[in-house]
Amino acid sequence: MRLIDRVCLITGGAAGIGRATAERFIEEGARVVICDVNEEQGQETVKELGSQCMFHNVNVSHRQAVQEWVDDVVTRYGRIDVLVNNAGILRDSQLVKVKDGVLVKQMAEDEFDLVVEVNLKGVFNCAQTVAPTMIKQGRGVILNATSIVGLDGNFGQTNYVASKAGVVGMTKVWARELGRYGIRVNAVAPGFVQTQILMAVPDKILDRMRAQTPLGRLGQPRDIANAYLFLASDEACYISGAILRVDGGIVVGT
């Protein structure tokens, strides 16, 4: 029961890694409040995880919605012990695509903006909103979802890589700024994880992902949830500013 009675916020908590993290935290005694933009999945997750879980429909890129969510949690519980900034989206495309010397496609500006709004600004919004409560408490944990591609880069993911590399930078800044208040800030960098995002990926691509991973398999959401659990717990009380790769040993190639 490493998180007994701790109040934990998880963004993008209705499915995938976020849902697995909520489940894992509840198993360790936490009271979990998830947010997501998918109302139906969010309500279903709460039904499955039980009375220790609550759901709010929140778009993390909307600052006022985040503020109202956090205010409600503080009013209800009086504290926030852990924030997991898990919410994120993909809109993959090459910077430019050329065929026979002619430009045929390029990443749309609105798709670049949308990914950065959710994956980077959303993390900023949530962290900045919970920080005053954690400072007042004199303790807290902020955990950010980056990615191995935020560290290594990846073909066709300019927007996603930019957002996740930005999360790495913000994690290191906040660890320095907030450490004096007893707040630890770390990030987890997953590799290829078998979530709903991969359901549309062809089998031959999935096979290549497995082949590129030294451990020979895709990650499971619970693998990442276990990393979040460790970093959220007192077992990691002297870890801050770290980027923990949970990737089966992979290094993304060209």
Q: Which of the residues are catalytic? A: 160
SS3 of the chain: helix, strand, coil, percent, to 5: 50, 20, 30
What angle, 0 to 180 degrees and rounded to 10, lies between the N-to-C axes of helices 109-116 and 158-178?
30
Beta bridge partners of 186: 143
For residue 127, give the nearest of 54, 177, 194 by alpha carbon: 177
Distance CA 60, CA 179 (A): 24
3 state SS of 145: strand
